[in-house]
Amino acid sequence: MLQQALTGTGVEVFVAEHSVLPSQGLGSTISQAIAGCDLFVLIWSTNAKASEWVSQEIGQAHSLGRTILPLVLTEGLALPGFISDLKYLPVYKDPQQAIERARNVVLQLFQEKQSALLAQQK
């Protein structure tokens, strides 16, 4: 839903399921995407919590100092310890509102980056 909400905004969205081509290495491609991203959107669910890959991806984003925006799908599902202090968007309460708020956060960060890049060029 968030990817669709960002269509046409100029924001590049990486979703491994759609962005990694058959025959490409998942781990290395995802690691490169995290290293090159400005914002790591975490879709936190019981499946994500059970995945060893997701915890590694969160750790990589955290260690690289990437901004992490957690979207929590399940009520009562705590974020991992090292990001447990982050404010998250509770998708379980009102999915439409949470996606709209996430879209606004993404666009605000995107606009701030664009402004900074323009200022550097002057």
What is residue 24's predicted lDDT score, i.e. its pLDDT? 87
CB atoms within 10 A of CB 109: 15
Query: Can you spell out the DSSP letters for 49-71?
Result: HH-HHHHHHHHHHHHTT-EEEEE
Q: Where are the domains of the chain?
A: 2-121
18 band by pLDDT with thresholds 50, 70 and 90: confident
> Residues 76-105: what's their mean pLDDT?
96
Please report, as a single letter, which amino acid is at residue 39. L
Q: What is the pLDDT of residue 26?
A: 87
- DSSP H or E segment with residue 41: strand 39-44
Residue 67, strand partner residues:
39
| Domain topology for 2-121 | Rossmann fold (3.40.50)
The pLDDT, as a whole number, for residue 40 is 97
Percent of the chain residues past pLDDT 90, beyond the cut? 85
- The 10s digit of each residue's pLDDT in 32-63 is 999 999 999 999 999 999 999 999 999 999 99
